[in-house]
């Protein structure tokens, strides 16, 4: 029995209809933004050798909820000369010992409480005496509302502004002559709260916004005066030390970022004289969206807050 073969007709999928004007523009915009972010974050001219022998004053180098300790360890591995300062002397001594083990040629420390208006001058004079000048001033210290103060009281606001803003201004003013001579860098570690208003952080957020405005204006002044001092603003998200995470447990839903990686991003930005560093990178997109959508609805804010925990 013969079976007659018949060729089957192959059906090819129809091509998708061309996108309409708004859809095409949306795809083009997203593609362009993706390429822009890729170029921005992959353009890395960081040379670790630049930091060997560099003279660094690092504030907030021990304890607290920041990345100061990790910054100190990274600078030590890179062979920088360090002056470290923080409030807790015992913690500072531990960090100094670890930095020496990691290879830092010179490490000095001075305990100081930046809530005192006299502390910045004392710290800066000590650093200049020990190092003979500065190549990097890394401002990293921070302070929350002390125990016994109401969060929104005038007393708490004054304390927060002194620690988180005025002491930064004082240290900068005292360091600028030395940084001008060395063509050095100012590295300012801030947070997303200095770019995007967040609920239940009014005085602290105000101090961080003041930092962003002050150093943005100072950058323009130095540029107009042809002063070769770089200013790098570092916008960091929630970091992962236990004290940080515990302080917002049940209130913030945002996940913490690794401290060592955040610290390395800060050091890279300062060494390459970048104007701004965002870690993690998505914070940059969030800041851009705030500019495009300046009046977000309460629904968007509530996504990162557990309102019931705050009320409790």
Which residues are catalytic, by number? 204
CA-based nearest residue to 60, from 259, 203, 205: 259
* Dist. CA 15–CA 141, nearest whole Å: 59
* Dist. CA 232–CA 188, nearest whole Å: 6
Is 203 in contact with 162 (CB distance < 8 Å)? no
Kindly report the number of other CB atoms within 10 A of residue 274's CB atom. Answer: 21
* Dist. CA 279–CA 271, nearest whole Å: 16
* Peptide bond connecting 266 to the previous residue in cis, omega within 30 degrees of 0: no
Burial 111-120 (b: 16+ CB within 10 A, else e): bbebbeeebb
Burial 170-183 (b: 16+ CB within 10 A, else e): bbbebbbebbeeee
Euclidean distance between the first and final Cα of the chain, in Å? 87
* Dist. CA 274–CA 110, nearest whole Å: 29
* Dist. CA 238–CA 70, nearest whole Å: 15
């Amino acid at each position: 029995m013969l079976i007659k073969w018949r060729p089957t007709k192959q059906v090819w999928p129809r091509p998708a209809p061309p996108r309409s004007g708004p859809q095409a523009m949306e795809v083009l915009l997203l593609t362009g933004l993706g390429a822009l972010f890729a170029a921005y974050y992959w353009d890395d001219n960081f040379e670790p050798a630049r930091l060997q022998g560099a003279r660094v004053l690092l504030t907030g180098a021990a304890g607290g909820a920041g990345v100061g300790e990790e910054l100190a360890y990274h600078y030590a591995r890179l062979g920088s000369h360090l002056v470290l300062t923080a409030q807790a002397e015992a913690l500072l001594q531990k960090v100094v010992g670890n930095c020496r083990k990691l290879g830092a040629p010179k490490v000095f420390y001075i305990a100081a409480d930046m809530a005192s208006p006299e502390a910045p001058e004392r710290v800066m004079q000590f650093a200049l005496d020990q190092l003979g000048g500065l190549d990097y001033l890394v401002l990293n210290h921070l302070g929350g509302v002390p125990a016994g103060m109401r969060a929104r009281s005038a007393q708490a606001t004054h304390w927060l502004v002194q620690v988180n803003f005025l002491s930064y201004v004082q240290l900068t003013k005292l360091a600028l002559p030395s940084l001008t001579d060395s063509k050095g860098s100012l590295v300012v570690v801030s947070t997303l709260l200095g770019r995007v208003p967040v609920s239940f952080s009014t005085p602290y957020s105000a101090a961080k916004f003041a930092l962003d405005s002050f150093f943005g204006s100072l950058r323009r002044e130095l540029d107009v005066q042809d002063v070769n001092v770089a200013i790098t603003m570092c916008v960091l998200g929630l970091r992962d030390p236990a004290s940080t995470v515990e302080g917002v447990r049940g209130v913030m839903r945002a996940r913490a970022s690794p401290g060592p990686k955040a610290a390395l991003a800060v050091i890279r930005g300062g060494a390459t004289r970048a104007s701004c560093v965002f870690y993690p990178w998505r914070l940059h997109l969030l800041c851009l969206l705030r500019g495009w959508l300046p009046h977000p609805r309460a629904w968007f804010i509530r996504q990162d807050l557990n309102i019931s925990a705050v009320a409790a």
